Structure 1
Amino acid sequence: MFAFSSRGNAGAVIEGGAVHLRHPELSDHEQWSRLRAASAQFLRPWEPVWPRDDLTRPAFRARLRRYGAEIRAGTGYPFFIVRNSDEALLGGITLGNIRRGVAQNGQIGYWIGERFSGNGYMSEAVGLVCEFAFARSGLHRLEAACIPDNGRSIRLLEKNGFEREGVLRAYLKINGQWRDHVLYARINPMHEDNARRAHTD
């Protein structure tokens, strides 16, 4: 389970056992840019081509402005993943493309620094975002898409209750090429329970 708290000017925090999630701040730029630079080769196969100035402070400031607009509009919630034991920045995870109305769904995307991968941090972060999306934001459905040969991401999603629904052909331009993606989705457990009860009534 997650809990909400406040850590100074960092705003709302989603607390987990080994990590917590919080919105990015301008003071994070140096640590974030170092981690991204050190993990560039590790992340390149799974991400769009980075803009030339992507790691600069002005680009990071622009990124924060976009994040702020999404948070205010309720269309996206970007988080940094921070280790509880030493406040190390491990990576990022976003609940984005939120649609309300009859859809009530959103998409998650994530990345982690190379030296922190394989330690269970991202699995906990995905679980925390799912609980935030369902219990706090009231969403009905979450989607995530990954490249078919990204076995680590597929295992991560399946471990967190996502089920494969199909293939999205030439879905995103990753590392300079349009790549197919596997679509995974998870339904709010409370809504699944309600649907089962309605079906049996």
Structure 2
Amino acid sequence: MSEPVRMRTARTVIRLLDVEEAELLRRYRVENREHLAPWEPLRTESHYSLDGCRQAIEAGLEAARADRGYPFAVLTPDATEMIGSFTLANVVRGVFQACHLGYGIGARHEGKGVMFEALDAAVRYAFGPLDFHRVMANYMPRNERSGRLLERLGFEKEGYAKRYLKIDGLWEDHVLTAKVRAQG
């Protein structure tokens, strides 16, 4: 990754955060702690600290440099507030050319179509500059909103995994979905 990646949508700017922007990430995490908890792994207190956010940003920048993962922040157009995030994670190259997509949105921005806008850009970036063949995204069956979002984006159900990920302290079942790049 030689130059900084920046995507724009009608209502957002999407990019990797710089370490100096750790306060932006910390504020998003603290404000959405309860909102995101049912959908995420258990978090330690350091996850919500400025130092923990700096470390997360540094690790994300290193992952992007190494083509292992791309943790994007979804920001307001003036970049003063973080709206949400998504990560193109678990990158596998070679004959697979795939990644997993994970995402979250702040409580104040939920239900406004902003995440659809951001993930539409994410998928185009994944199939374009990153040259993936497949993007996989999984969701808990009770997260119907996430299921509808992925369906709108063109993801297709491929399976069901019992006790797939440990979320909020419990092993949760997940619906497995993927979107495959069109032949061309």
Range of TM-score over shorter length: over 0.9
Give the alignment's TM-score, normalised by structure 1: 0.86
Q: Is the 8 A contact 2:19 2:58 kept in 1?
A: no
Q: Is the 8 A contact 1:93 1:109 kept in 2?
A: yes
- Cα displacement (A) at 1:140: 0.4
| Alignment partner, residue 148 of structure 1 | 141
Q: Does residue 1:185 correspond to 2:169, yes or no?
A: no
Percent identity over the alignment? 35
| Alignment partner, residue 3 of structure 1 | none
For 1:63 and 1:39, how far apart are their aligned partners in 2?
Answer: 17
For 1:12 and 1:105, how far apart are their aligned partners in 2?
Answer: 19
Q: Does residue 1:170 correspond to 2:160, yes or no?
A: no
Q: Does residue 1:62 correspond to 2:37, yes or no?
A: no
For 2:78 and 2:110, how far apart are their aligned partners in 1?
Answer: 16
Q: Does residue 1:53 correspond to 2:50, yes or no?
A: no
In structure 2, runs of 5+ residues without a counterpart are none
Q: 1:47 to 1:16 in 2, by over 3 A?
A: same
Runs ≥4 residues deviating over 6 A: none
Secondary structure of the 1:129 match is helix
Aligned-residue CA RMSD (Å): 1.5
For 1:59 and 1:115, how far apart are their aligned partners in 2?
Answer: 24
Match of 1:43 among 36, 40, 44: 36
Give the alignment's TM-score, normalised by structure 2: 0.93
CA-to-partner distance for each residue in 1:98-138, whole Å, 9 max, x for gaps?
11111011111011111111111100111001000001111
For 1:23 and 1:51, how far apart are their aligned partners in 2?
Answer: 23
In structure 1, runs of 5+ residues without a counterpart are 1-5, 195-201
Q: Is the 8 A contact 1:75 1:98 kept in 2?
A: yes
| Alignment partner, residue 102 of structure 1 | 95
Please tell me the residue identity of whatever aligns with 1:123. Answer: F
For 1:27 and 1:151, how far apart are their aligned partners in 2?
Answer: 36
